[in-house]
């Protein structure tokens, strides 16, 4: 993939991994359509650089996804890269959670349904452009789950398998990448986990793989997790089960 002079839509560009991706692609001379809900953070990004085009959108709402798709169709026909990065993680126990149905709905919506819908809505534009790519952010928890977040792990496993299958379908027309992060130090993991890597480390590892068309990008310890899971799946399960 060419890493310069692209027009890239990044969901969840206002914080954490998405913000680090935004900053790095900007430094590489790309234009960014930054998507998120927080208007102050979007305005801050716009002030940072003229090449950032903010778009406020709650991706869990169909009406807002439709507005985003219309905006792209009418004003950014040259969009060639979509990064599905926005995500949330709830940690709870199925036996004890009082808002179970609401939480299931919302987490599946943000993490799984919305990225799939966004791909469907933007494919007509992406497929017309050169150097086109879709990048989905899954998780090491898509490979081996932890006990505390069954829905999160399920949505990420869904994204993982979906991404592989879509890659087969879009072969030659649009390159389909998957970032599989280990624990990264962001608001999502605040107060949880050990050995977290900074978001910039994830982005640096990803860019190296992206340049070489390496489609499945295992970040940090995910490389070892996959090896352990292949050789001794029961050990991988034990290591991950109690993860925070």
Residues designated catalytic: 152
Q: Is the distance from CB of 18 to CB of 88 less than 8 angstroms? A: no
Alpha carbon distance 98, 129 (integer Å) = 47
Q: Is the distance from CB of 184 to CB of 202 less than 8 angstroms? A: yes
In whole angstroms, the minimum distance from the beta carbon of 183 to ligand NAP comes to: 4
Q: Is the distance from CB of 84 to CB of 135 less than 8 angstroms? A: yes
Pick 22 or 30: Cβ nearer ligand NAP? 22
Q: Is the distance from CB of 5 to CB of 30 less than 8 angstroms? A: yes
In whole angstroms, the minimum distance from the beta carbon of 128 to ligand NAP comes to: 25
Task: List the end-to-end C-alpha distance of the chain, in Å, as a whole number.
Answer: 35
Residues 6+ apart with CB under 8 A from 190: none
Alpha carbon distance 141, 237 (integer Å) = 10
Tell me which residues touch ligand NAP (CB under 6 A).
11-12, 14-18, 36-38, 41, 57-60, 85-89, 110, 137, 139, 181, 183-184, 186-189
Pick 88 or 123: Cβ nearer ligand NAP? 88
Pick 129 or 193: Cβ nearer ligand NAP? 193
In whole angstroms, the minimum distance from the beta carbon of 87 to ligand NAP comes to: 2
Token pair of 204, please? 């640096």
In whole angstroms, the minimum distance from the beta carbon of 16 to ligand NAP comes to: 2
Pick 139 or 163: Cβ nearer ligand NAP? 139
């Amino acid at each position: 993939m060419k890493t310069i002079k692209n027009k890239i839509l990044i969901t969840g560009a206002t914080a954490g991994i998405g913000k680090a991706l935004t900053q790095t692609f900007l430094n590489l001379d790309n234009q960014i359509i930054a998507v998120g809900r927080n208007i102050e953070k979007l305005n801050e990004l716009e002030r940072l650089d003229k090449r950032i085009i903010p778009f406020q959108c709650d991706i869990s709402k169909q009406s807002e996804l439709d507005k985003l798709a219309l905006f792209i169709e009418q004003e950014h026909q040259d969009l060639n890269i979509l990064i599905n990065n926005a995500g949330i993680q709830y940690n709870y126990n199925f036996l004890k959670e009082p808002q179970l149905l609401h939480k299931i709905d919302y987490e599946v919506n943000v993490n799984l349904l919305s990225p799939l819908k966004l791909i469907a809505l933007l494919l007509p534009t992406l497929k017309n452009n050169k150097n086109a790519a879709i990048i989905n952010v899954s998780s090491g928890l898509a490979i081996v789950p932890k006990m505390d977040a069954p829905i999160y792990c399920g949505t990420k496993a869904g994204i993982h398998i979906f991404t592989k299958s879509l890659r087969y379908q879009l072969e030659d027309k649009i390159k389909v990448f998957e970032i599989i992060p280990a624990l990264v130090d962001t608001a999502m993991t605040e107060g949880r986990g050990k050995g977290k890597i900074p978001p910039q480390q994830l982005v640096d590892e990803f860019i190296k793989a992206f340049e070489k068309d390496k489609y499945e990008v295992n970040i940090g310890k995910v490389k070892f997790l996959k090896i352990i899971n292949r050789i001794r799946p029961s050990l991988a399960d034990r290591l991950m089960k109690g993860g925070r």
